[in-house]
Amino acid sequence: MPFWAEPRHCHSPLMHSRPSGFRHIGVLIASPSPESHPYTQAFVAAFTQALRQLGWVEGKNLRTDYRFAAGDPALFKAYAAELVALAPDAILASTPPALAALQRQTRTIPIVFALVSDPVGQGFVQSIARPGGNITGFSVADAPVMGKWLQLLKEIAPGITRVIVIFSPETTPNTRLLNRAIEAAGPSLAITATLAPVHDDAGIEEAIGVLAREPGGGLVILPDSFNATHSDVIVAAAIRYKLPSIGFTELVRAGCLMSYWSEAIELHAQAASYIDRILRGANPADLPVQYPTKFPLIINLKTAKALGLTVPPTMLDLADEVIE
């Protein structure tokens, strides 16, 4: 069994008596357990491999305690408290709810985040250049990217006039910046954007069903742990009602029409570089927040055919990946 598949409540005696040079980190990640979710395995594997390349080897000079919250707000709170109680040298926080839960527990243990948008607006750091506290990391995207989502949807499905923005207010409480970018892009494309907060599978089905009652509908699926956990329900409903959809990378591989987003797996690997620097003495207050430089465009051609859409050749030429 891989080391990251160990029980979530495993407390190592190394926390009490570590050999010289042995360091300890925690990880709070917003995905189901590694045994049931391949993306979680990919995140953990990328992070572990990046640490290994930097000289940190599990069991040799490093101990990692993982907690997998599966998008459950109660688990974020409980697992954040557990990790902080273990007093690690640094913690990786994957997604905003993980980071928010950890921030409430400690203002001293260094925290490196991944998959967090608008870290200043959400109150996690003082500024991008100088975070100023115990938190820094790798932002998933800047808000203007969300406006690009509407442009891409309109290009692949010119008949779209209305979209709903699917998100969970529990796991993505601060969506103002992303929503403003979507709403700002709407008028120039003759698209009206409506927020659709959802809490469970029934809410997803209802929101998408209401949208489908009239023609010209489309889905914008915000990147959050709830949508990742409920991706099968969202994608199945979108295809059943023949609604074009755009979301994050993991969704398009599950059947969403398209994605234009940063690579989440790569961001976890990059986060290891800041963990490494902190373990070697760097202060997170002085490590600037990093933004992605590449947003792969991925088109699911199989889904496009199921929706009766013909993807323009220009879009296929621009796509970084086409799923057939």
Give buried/exposed letters for 15-29 (b at 16+ CB in 10 A, else e).
eeeeeeeebbbbbbb
Does 178 score more than 90 pLDDT? Answer: no
The beta-strand segments (E) located in the chain are 23-29, 62-68, 90-94, 111-116, 135-139, 162-167, 192-197, 217-221, 245-247, 258-260, 297-300, 321-323
> Do 137 and 289 contact (CB within 8 A), yes or no?
yes
Task: Indicate the fold that domain 144-261+296-323 takes in CATH.
Answer: Rossmann fold (3.40.50)
In angstroms, rounded to a whole number, what is the distance separating the alpha carbons of residues 288 and 290? 6
In angstroms, rounded to a whole number, what is the distance separating the alpha carbons of residues 25 and 19? 15
Contacts of 289 (CB under 8 A, 6+ apart): 119, 125, 128, 131, 136, 137, 138, 139
Does 10 score more than 50 pLDDT? Answer: no
Report residue 14's pLDDT band, with 50, 70 and 90 as the boundaries. very low
Give the model confidence (pLDDT) of 156-177 as tens digits. 999 999 999 998 887 665 667 7
> Do 100 and 119 contact (CB within 8 A), yes or no?
no
Point out which residues pair with 147 in neighbouring strands.
none
Give the model confidence (pLDDT) of 61-88 as tens digits. 999 999 998 767 889 999 999 999 999 9
The structure tokens 């997803």 sit at: 204
Give the model confidence (pLDDT) of 260-319 as tens digits. 998 888 999 999 999 999 999 999 999 999 998 889 999 999 999 999 999 999 999 999
Residues of the chain with pLDDT > 70: what percent? 90
What number does CATH give the domain 3-140+264-286? Answer: 3.40.50.2300
Q: What is the pLDDT of residue 229?
A: 82
Report residue 15's pLDDT band, with 50, 70 and 90 as the boundaries. very low
> Do 235 and 323 contact (CB within 8 A), yes or no?
no
In this structure, the dihedral spanned by the alpha carbons of residues 281, 283, 287 and 289, taken in order and rounded to 10 degrees, is 120
Ordered by start, the domain boundaries in the chain are 3-140+264-286, 144-261+296-323
Residues in the chain: 324
Q: What is the DSSP letter of 12?
A: -
Q: What is the pTM of this model?
A: 0.83
Q: What is the pLDDT of residue 117?
A: 83
Instruction: Tell me whether domains 3-140+264-286 and 144-261+296-323 share a fold.
Output: yes
Nearest CA among 106, 102, 118 for reference residue 178: 118
Q: What is the pLDDT of residue 6?
A: 40
Arithmetic mean of pLDDT over the chain: 88
Give the model confidence (pLDDT) of 183-201 as tens digits. 888 999 999 999 999 999 9
